[in-house]
Amino acid sequence: MSSTPFVPTPSCEIFDPVTFAFTSTGSMAAARSFASAVRLLDGRVLVTGGQGVDGLGNFLVRDDAEIYDPATGTWSPAATPMGRPRSHHGSFLLSTTDVLVMSGTPGLPDRRALGSLQQPLRPASGAGVLRSLPRRRRDAARRAPFMAGGLESKGVSLYDPPSASSAP
């Protein structure tokens, strides 16, 4: 995944924190930048959304997701797309099967933060329910479903999985 603006790429590398070395692995089906990735409990990695390019070279925001299997070094598509395209979003593992995909932006020319989150995203089915929580270009804490800051917000929003609700 590329984090360089306007340079989406399907190529992927694995970083070894012991040796500080990168090694190439299988490429995704779709080129992406500004996507979100989360490691699932079984070791696979779910990558959602991001910016890509269409067949004419125009930039677009993706609504699809792919799953990386480190045992085989290959990617496969998630069963269904997310509820809406998004980039600059966050993803959190909530349980063994659920991933919370929060906020983001639908892209140009509409750069407003998305007023929704998808809870839960089940990597096998893509099922989800939309709730309100707008943010883009944010910071998120690992293992805790909350978002802080962003271009349009200076506050913190906390997501409570048991009640399936968010609060500022």
Lowest mean pLDDT among 23-27, 110-114, 129-133: 129-133
| The pLDDT value given to residue 24 | 95
Give dist(CA 59, CA 7) in Å, integer. Answer: 10
Report how far Cα 159 is from the mean position of its chain's Cα atoms. Answer: 16
Beta strands in 29-140 (DSSP E): 36-39, 45-48, 51-53, 59-61, 65-69, 74-77, 90-93, 99-102, 117-121, 129-131, 139-140
Domains of the chain: residue spans and CATH:
12-167 (2.120.10.80)
**Region 17-22: what's the mean pLDDT?**
95
pLDDT band, very low/low/confident/very high, at 20 (cuts 50, 70, 90): very high
H and E: helices and strands count for the chain:
0, 16
**Region 97-104: what's the mean pLDDT?**
76
pTM summary value: 0.70
Give dist(CA 85, CA 77) in Å, integer. Answer: 15
Give dist(CA 32, CA 164) in Å, integer. Answer: 29
Give dist(CA 60, CA 136) in Å, integer. Answer: 16
